Amino acid sequence: MNPINKYILLLFSFLFFAGNVQCQNIAIDSLQNELSRHVLKDTTRVNLLNALAFSYFSKDMAKTLEYLEEADAIAEVLQFKKGEARSIYIRGITEAIQANYDQALGYYNEALQLYENIDFKKGIANCYNAMGITHKNKGELRKSVSYYKKAIRIEDEIGSNNLSASLLNLGTSYEVLGDFDKAISYLKKALSIAKADENEQRVAYSLNNLGNVYQGQGNYPLALEHYNKSLYINEKLGDSLGIANNLLSMGAIYKIQEYYDKAMRCYEKSLEIYKRIDSKNGISLILNGIGTIHEEKGDYSSALDNYVDALSISKQIGAKSSIPYILNNIGEVYLALKDYRTANHYFTESKKNGLEIESKQALCGAYIGLARTYTNQKEYNSALSNALKAKKISKKHGFLDYQKEASEILSKIYKATGNYKDALESHQQFKILNDSLFNKENVEKITQLEYEYKYKQALYSASIRELKLTKTVIATNKNLEQSQKNLLLGVIAFLMLALVLGVIIFFLKLRNEKSKTQNIVIEQKLLRSQMTPHFIFNSLSVLQGMILNKEDKKSVSYLSKFSKLLRITLENSRDKTVLLSQELMAIENYLTLQNLENESYQYTVLVDDAIDRSLVKIPPMLIQPFVENAIEHAFVNQKENRKIDIHLNYLNKELICTITDNGIGIDSQKENKKPNKKSLSTTITSERLKILSKDFNMKGSIIIEDRKKHNEQGTVVTLVIPYKIQVA
Amino acid sequence: MKALIVEDKAYIRKGLLNLLQLIDVDVEVIGECESVKDAVVVANACKPELVFLDINLLDGTAFDFLEQTESLTFKVIFITAYEEYALQALKTGAVDYLLKPVDIAELQIALQKVEKLPIAEQKQQIKTVKEVWNNEGTKLILSLHDSFQVIDLNELLFCETDKGYTTFYCSDGKKYMVSKTLKEFEEQLSKANFTRPHQSFMVNLKFIDKYDKSGVIHLKNGKKIPVSFRKKESFLTTFLHWNNN
């Protein structure tokens, strides 16, 4: 059977840079929002910038550097040591990612010193952890273990949430050192702490690295199961680096399982990601992996090209841990090309590197390579010693793969040297190992695992779809609510509008009513003033007569009385109510005027003591017309003994005015008159009283009687006058 | 010219006497009266040629006096405190009147005018005035081209106005046209059961036979009067109200 080339670089075991949990949990978006709001150049902004820089280092290096620059500048101005140290620390990480390990270590040391100065334990632990990672990447595994242990001690002491990261890293280092038991123990510890902390990213990485260990142990199904679990979480988190690492590891397993196309697809995807995030180490590992596939397919020149590229990158970045594996792979190619010298050279080089970095797996690979080379060169002693070394190491560390390889080559060597018993034994061992590594059950399990992964993925995308759907439903609900709200608002607006319109209509109607009332009032005023022109012009005419008659004194007196009366009348007609005293003055003036003309009326104006004429207010020009009536019509052909009495009294809260004359009486007056010519003043007054009584909410009425009823001569007019008491 | 003054106020009589003395005119005041009763007696006794006559007297009106002195032939100058409708209508005619207080120039003009006037014509016109006066609200004086026509509003069917002329259609088939707009009659007609269903028409409610809902009034004599859209409602209100009473 063709020797399966397994000398691949299995892992990019993921190593954790201690981050700030808060920063990892808060979405980058919200951090950016926070930053855009927080423009003040203070420690908070430094922290925000550092947090953003840390969040970006696995996604966008340029942005990380951009944030760091600003953070560094502000921290320096503020003398904010902690912030400055963290900026330097993150800068170290960026260098480490680009495999500039010495620069990275320089930054870490600087940060460490700053942290030590301010005795910030967490920072110190972070620096130790980062230094451990860098040393591990440089292949200085023992150093890395000691740094990790320092970090773990501090983190355990302060109860840091980075403990799981350091444990993870330590476990990974032990894995490379071939100490799988310790590796598994630390990684499982890391996994359980990460689970307890609900730190999914670390759970994913713990799973990935455990997978790497299981792969090293040749337990491919278990390894694949862990990778799948890890990939599922990484995809959920959108962690590019994590996904790339998973794909790299899975590619390796597929390759071992001879699913080359699948393996290639994994590698290609992974390479794309590594290139994007500029991870040289990752690129190197992938190129190596792709090389192994070409090699399996017999395309040795392509394989060699890839290996050489991978080697040069690894050398350039000083990734000592990768170099022996790549060297082994190159050796294998030359071995297949039967260029045993060159193969020997590479394997020897690998052995040297492997010993230096104590990479047991690489070392096994190198020993087996050398054993094969020597076997082909028929130098069986050298071959045997190398093969036995490989077997010893692989057995000790439980590298099933290498044990199988070692057994196979041993069987060949023994066979070639005629030691058939040992050859058979070795071959039997090889068979057992090969079967256990590559049995049917495993194949089925792998297939099942694939389905599980695909199912999970489908489930996940379904849950995403469900989430989207839920969102849509919520949005629709909101829209519905909004439209309901709009409807409600519309109804409210409509009601308001209706109300406003109603109010407007009401007020218009009210105004209309008012103007109607006003019209009546105006009409009343007109009627009141219309009662006088006859009187005015007659009076003026009388005055003219007096003047022409040369009665100067009398005419002057008449004129002044007339003026007074006119003035009071005009003033009173303006007001709705006038003082009783004023109204009475007008009446007296009127009577005086009449007496100036012919000195023939005896009149009395009597007001009950109960009535205060300077407080009671009555509508103007209610009494006067009846006095005028009496003078104009009552005394026809009655030259002597003309009496007019005006009497005001207060009865049952009613103001009653009687105008009594001793003339011919109303009945006789009517006889003289035309039947259709009604008494204007009576009609007007009764109309006025109707409105006024409504207005004052008080009784108002008029009765005109002939005094014949009481066996007396003349007319009596009884007015019930609505009034108001003036409040001083 | 022998004159009689009939006026209820002594000072006004004195004033008029004084005024007559001030102007150079051949008027001799032979008597003064303050009531209808006195005046009738004096007029019969003295046979005046001219009477200064106040419209409103204590015991009656000027027309009561005129009625009782119909057999006598004298000319009349009315004296009034304000312009009565009946007089206003005849202002351009043979009847003149003076407004109180009397203006001396107006008095002169009135005297000159009345001197030349044929007595019969004045009598006729005074009759018209009297008729209108006594039936205020039911009679209307129309100043025609050559005469004053009194029409009874109770016999007036409707009137129609067109280009400043108004035509009155009476129930006896006669129609009169005056050079006045309908507006000048509107107030007086409104008081007497008339309504204005259209800008150009005023109709006597009494003579409406039916109202066609298409907006046409049918009069009892068959004449049709349009109702304008804008006045439809107010017309209907008036019409129905009138018929319900």
pLDDT of res. A521: 67
B136 DSSP 8-state letter: B
B116 and B147 inside one domain: no
Determine, for residues B59 and A672 on separate chains, whether the beta-carbon distance falls below 8 Å: yes
Residue A631 pLDDT exceeds 50: yes
State the Cα–Cα distance between residues A483 and A481, nearest whole angstrom: 5
State the Cα–Cα distance between residues A449 and A336, nearest whole angstrom: 34
CA B237 to chain A, closest CA, distance in angstroms equals 18
The first and second tokens of residue A342, run together, are 């060159």
ipTM of the complex: 0.75
Determine, for residues B15 and A547 on separate chains, whether the beta-carbon distance falls below 8 Å: yes
**List of chain A residues whose C-beta atoms are within 8 Å of the C-beta of residue B81:** 533-538, 541
Mean pLDDT over B229-242 rounds to: 85
Interface of B with A in 2-31 (CB under 8 A): 9-16, 18-19
Q: Which domains does chain A have, with CATH numbers?
A: 17-133 (1.25.40.10), 577-725 (3.30.565.10)
Task: Give the global pTM.
Answer: 0.44
Number of domains in chain B: 2
Give residue A282's pLDDT band: very low, low, confident or very high (50, 70, 90): confident
B13 and B126 inside one domain: yes
Beta bridge partners of A688: none
pLDDT of res. B134: 74
Is residue A277 within 8 Å of A58, Cβ to Cβ?
A: yes
**List of chain B residues whose C-beta atoms are within 8 Å of the C-beta of residue A543:** 11, 101
B127 and B156 inside one domain: no
pLDDT of res. A98: 75
pLDDT of res. A720: 92
State the Cα–Cα distance between residues B158 and A515, nearest whole angstrom: 32
In sequence order, what are the residues at sequence separation of 6 or more whose Cβ sits closer than 8 angstroms to the Cβ of residue A179? A397
Is residue B6 within 8 Å of B52, Cβ to Cβ?
A: yes
Is residue A414 within 8 Å of A422, Cβ to Cβ?
A: yes
Q: Is A430 exposed, middle or buried (0-12, 13-18, 19+ CB in 10 A)?
A: buried
B215 and B128 inside one domain: no
Q: Is A12 exposed, middle or buried (0-12, 13-18, 19+ CB in 10 A)?
A: buried
Beta bridge partners of B194: B204
B151 and B48 inside one domain: no
The first and second tokens of residue A717, run together, are 């007019």
Determine, for residues B10 and A677 on separate chains, whether the beta-carbon distance falls below 8 Å: no
B21 and B93 inside one domain: yes
The region of weakest confidence among A355-359, A487-491, B27-31 is: A355-359
Is residue A144 within 8 Å of A173, Cβ to Cβ?
A: yes
Domain boundary among B134, B165, B186: B134
Distance of CA A580 to the CA centre of its chain: 77
Is residue A256 within 8 Å of A220, Cβ to Cβ?
A: yes
B202 and B232 inside one domain: yes
Determine, for residues B81 and A546 on separate chains, whether the beta-carbon distance falls below 8 Å: no
Q: Which of A526, A534, A539, A548 to mutate to test the interface with B (most CBs of B within 10 A)?
A: A548
CA A523 to chain B, closest CA, distance in angstroms equals 15
Question: In A217-259, which ranges are continuous DSSP H helix?
Answer: 220-237, 240-256
Closest CA to B85 of B191, B171, B213: B191
Beta bridge partners of B3: B29, B50
B7 and B126 inside one domain: yes
Please count the other Cβ atoms lying within 10 Å of the Cβ belonging to residue B164: 10
Residue A395 pLDDT exceeds 70: yes
Which amino acid does the sequence have at A37? R
Kindly write down the DSSP assignment for every residue of A586-600, as one continuous string.
Answer: HHHHHHHHHHHHH--
Q: Write the CATH number for B123.
A: 3.40.50.2300
**What is the domain extent for residue B216?**
139-244
The first and second tokens of residue A70, run together, are 């600003």
Percent of chain A with pLDDT over 90: 7
Q: Write the CATH number for B172.
A: 2.40.50.1020
B147 and B128 inside one domain: no
CA B165 to chain A, closest CA, distance in angstroms equals 31
Determine, for residues B18 and A540 on separate chains, whether the beta-carbon distance falls below 8 Å: no
Residue A519 pLDDT exceeds 70: no
CA B38 to chain A, closest CA, distance in angstroms equals 9
Determine, for residues A537 and B102 on separate chains, whether the beta-carbon distance falls below 8 Å: no
B124 and B15 inside one domain: yes
φ, ψ (nearest 5 deg) of residue A8: -110, 165
The shortest CB-CB distance from A533 to any of B10, B82, B136 is to: B82
CA B162 to chain A, closest CA, distance in angstroms equals 32
Domain boundary among B134, B156, B180: B134
Give residue A34's pLDDT band: very low, low, confident or very high (50, 70, 90): confident
Domain boundary among B112, B134, B156: B134
B11 and B117 inside one domain: yes
Mean pLDDT over A712-720 rounds to: 90
B7 and B74 inside one domain: yes
Please count the other Cβ atoms lying within 10 Å of the Cβ belonging to residue A3: 15
Mean pLDDT over A83-93 rounds to: 85
